[in-house]
Structure 1
Amino acid sequence: MQILVSLVPNPAEVIPLWAAFTDAKKAVPGLEITLIGSKGINACMRRHPAVARHIDIDEDAWLKPFWSPKYWRVRAELQHQLGDALKDESTSWIDPYGSPVSRATIRNRPGRRVGVSRLDRPRLNRDYASVFPIPPELHPVQALRVLFAAELGYSLHDLEPDYGFLPKSDDAPTETDIVVDMRNLPWTEDEKLQFRNRLADAPLSIACLDYANPDLDEATQLLGHWPLIEDARYLLTGINSTAWLAAALGRPGLCLCPTDQASSQGVISTHWARQKIINIDRPPFNEPHIVAESIVQVLNRHRQDP
């Protein structure tokens, strides 16, 4: 059995799908997943062992008017790449996001087209053969897991997600004490400087991630940072792609969330993580001097008792 899955370019939205992929692979023997998304996001998401195939699409071309020659060219190219996949009645095409591009690619295709019900804009539901009403209060990870379980007909027995990656060996060398991603932190520039100055006084090796390359999409830049994130002893980040990848890889750290959003939007670490990502959304615990001191103490303890 195979399923097609539409992606959006933002890895922070898409990485939680790995948990749904793992559930589905365990529940449906022989399941093969085909990704449909931009080149960058496919390169990132295809690292999951359940992904058998991916189809790269030009997102900009799919947003052209339907009478545009470029639109019809990419539509024909996708049809050719899909081949006979949609002729199999057991094949589901799942669109978890309902973006303009994902709806354009799935619209009017044969077979079972599955989306999330839009109660606020019911007209959009017409693009799918079937829609599931996912409660908006569900955490993003659990919402995706519920969607796949509902479509493929299995039950979720474990609320802790498994993103499909094996633990890193404790004996593996680690050169970086802390990896910092300043994006989405709820701090002013002065507060960020205060944090940097405190860490600079500590005997720690620090890596600050940079996603500012205008020539590369975020997913491609995240792939470049993957080794640093995977090998870091500890991380500090906001809710973004770095946080989600760290959670999927079982790395410990702090994720600073907007006020009152830690439980609803904070990242959830993989089930086997010995030390999980801690989501913080309240002062004084999210203030820069408290965060810096906490990190220094954690890493000092690790040095003394590795």
Structure 2
Amino acid sequence: MKVLVVKTSSLGDVIHTLPALSDATKAIPGISFDWVVEDSFQDIPALHPNVQRVVPVSVRRWRKNFWKYRAEIKASIRDIQADEYDAVIDAQGLIKSAFFTRYAKGKRYGLSKTSCREPLAALAYQYKVDVAKGQHAIDRVRQLFAKSLGYDVPSNFFSYGLNKASISDSSGLEAPYLVFLHGTTWESKHWPNEYWQTLISLATAKGFNIYLPWGNEFEKTRADELSRLSEKAYVLKRSSVKQLAEILMNASGVVGVDSGLAHLTAACETPSVTIYGSTSADLTGTMGEKNACLQTNFACSPCLKKVCCYNQQTTVTPACYQTLPADLVWQNLVELMV
């Protein structure tokens, strides 16, 4: 059986889809997948052993000037139509993913208009699947695949299915090391710098080297500032998603805020703590055997706002993080690394 998966972005959402592929692989012998994904995330599907072909698209770039890139868009559509499939599953439920799904050759499956985020997307599917909202994103995708392909979601099995043999330890980093994922998109998701400073002190005192990745100049500046606290704290070179997967998989432990790289860490099965303040771990939190999600305990958390609006006296900003100080985070990570 050959299935085309359409899940273009973002990094965390792409990773959320991997357990569904593992479920299907377990239930249907010989199944294989092709995957349509944003080019910046194409390394992730390739890490699953049952993904045969990755079809990269560049929606984030194309939407800035559709006419300028129309030749590229047509070429990507031709790539999608290069094979015929037993099933085409839109695992995203957005108009942009439905656009690609509509062009694919095969029976088209996707969330019903009451189940997906953008109801118009359901018009692209021949088979519309009802999946209850209010569940974790990973659970919803697993149910979508199970209902589309005709099996039951396994109750005692959960695996991202990463092919660890394909990820070498060639980073050259000095073990034992921890990775601190300090970067994220919203201002309100940022754990206070003073807490990162304390965490670095706690970790280096126990003999760990600390590595700090970054994805833009703002994050690079913060990483540089944090690295100056200790001769055992280092700023990583700018790395690809595949390189970061290698680094995360071989780390002793990871601490991160709500970000795609935190989800990648969970998929790598590395001991890790993910910190949630303005966002909630209930529906999109990191999930894994060696992963712990720490949610702030504060009156207005999770507020789901990009900027903290708390205007009362507080010891840190954003205010909710005062309920998740560095020593508590460190304690949870140590317990996972045992």
Measured against the shorter chain, the TM-score band is 0.7 to 0.9
Match of 2:122 among 118, 125, 129: 125
Residues 175-195 of structure 1: CA deviation (Å, up to 9, x unaligned): 133211013455233433343
Partner of 2:302: none
Report the Cα distance in structure 2 between the residues aligned to 1:160 and 1:39, rounded to whole angstroms. Answer: 30
2:109 partner amino acid:
V
Partner of 2:284: 265
The residue correspondences of 1:61-100 to structure 2 (distance < 5 A) are 63=63, 68=67, 70-71=69-70, 73-83=71-81, 85-86=83-84, 91-100=86-95
2:3 partner amino acid:
I
Q: Secondary structure at the match of 2:139?
A: helix
Report the Cα distance in structure 1 between the residues aligned to 2:99 and 2:217, rounded to whole angstroms. Answer: 29
2:328 partner amino acid:
I
CA displacement at 1:134 relative to structure 2: 1.7
Q: Is the CA contact 1:181–1:208 (under 8 Å) kept in the aligned structure 2?
A: yes
Partner of 2:17: 17
Report the Cα distance in structure 2 between the residues aligned to 1:106 and 1:297, rounded to whole angstroms. Answer: 44
Q: Secondary structure at the match of 1:107?
A: helix
1:81 partner amino acid:
D
Q: Secondary structure at the match of 1:118?
A: coil
Report the Cα distance in structure 2 between the residues aligned to 1:93 and 1:209, rounded to whole angstroms. Answer: 36
Q: Is the CA contact 1:64–1:70 (under 8 Å) kept in the aligned structure 2?
A: no
Can you give the 5+ residue segments of structure 2 that lack an aligned partner in the other structure?
219-238, 298-321
Partner of 1:188: 192
1:59 partner amino acid:
V
Partner of 1:44: 44
Q: Secondary structure at the match of 2:293?
A: strand
Q: Report which structure shows greater RCO (CA 8 Å, sep ≥6).
A: 1
Partner of 2:312: none
How many equivalent residue pairs?
A: 283
Q: Secondary structure at the match of 2:88?
A: strand
Partner of 1:253: 272
Partner of 2:161: 164
CA displacement at 1:22 relative to structure 2: 0.8
Report the Cα distance in structure 2 between the residues aligned to 1:23 and 1:100, rounded to whole angstroms. Answer: 26
Q: Is the CA contact 1:167–1:250 (under 8 Å) kept in the aligned structure 2?
A: no
Q: Secondary structure at the match of 1:183?
A: coil
Q: TM-score, length-normalised on structure 1?
A: 0.79
CA displacement at 1:164 relative to structure 2: 1.2
Report the Cα distance in structure 2 between the residues aligned to 1:61 and 1:167, rounded to whole angstroms. Answer: 31
Partner of 1:289: 327
| Cα distance change, pair 281–152 in 1 and its aligned pair in 2 (3 A) | same
Partner of 1:217: none
Q: Is the CA contact 1:115–1:128 (under 8 Å) kept in the aligned structure 2?
A: yes
Q: Is the CA contact 1:176–1:231 (under 8 Å) kept in the aligned structure 2?
A: no
CA displacement at 1:285 relative to structure 2: 6.3
Q: TM-score, length-normalised on structure 2?
A: 0.72
Report the Cα distance in structure 1 between the residues aligned to 2:82 and 2:164, rounded to whole angstroms. Answer: 37
Report the Cα distance in structure 1 between the residues aligned to 2:34 and 2:242, rounded to whole angstroms. Answer: 20
Report the Cα distance in structure 1 between the residues aligned to 2:336 and 2:8, rounded to whole angstroms. Answer: 36
2:291 partner amino acid:
I
Report the Cα distance in structure 2 between the residues aligned to 1:182 and 1:234, rounded to whole angstroms. Answer: 14
Report the Cα distance in structure 2 between the residues aligned to 1:197 and 1:285, rounded to whole angstroms. Answer: 19
Q: Secondary structure at the match of 1:85?
A: coil
CA displacement at 1:295 relative to structure 2: 4.3
Partner of 1:225: 244
Residues 90-130 of structure 1: CA deviation (Å, up to 9, x unaligned): x2111111334322222355532222223375433212222
| Cα distance change, pair 186–281 in 1 and its aligned pair in 2 (3 A) | farther
Q: Secondary structure at the match of 2:3?
A: strand
| Cα distance change, pair 206–154 in 1 and its aligned pair in 2 (3 A) | same
CA displacement at 1:157 relative to structure 2: 2.3
Partner of 1:208: 212
Q: Is the CA contact 1:116–1:133 (under 8 Å) kept in the aligned structure 2?
A: yes
Q: Is the CA contact 2:83–2:105 (under 8 Å) kept in the aligned structure 1?
A: no
CA displacement at 1:25 relative to structure 2: 1.2
Partner of 1:31: 31
Residues 34-72 of structure 1: CA deviation (Å, up to 9, x unaligned): 111222322221110110112122325653788x4743x
2:268 partner amino acid:
L
CA RMSD of aligned residues (A): 3.2
Question: Quick one: percent identity of the two aligned structures?
Answer: 19
Report the Cα distance in structure 2 between the residues aligned to 1:29 and 1:146, rounded to whole angstroms. Answer: 19
Can you give the 5+ residue segments of structure 1 that lack an aligned partner in the other structure?
215-219
CA displacement at 1:19 relative to structure 2: 0.6
CA displacement at 1:78 relative to structure 2: 3.4
| Cα distance change, pair 124–154 in 1 and its aligned pair in 2 (3 A) | same
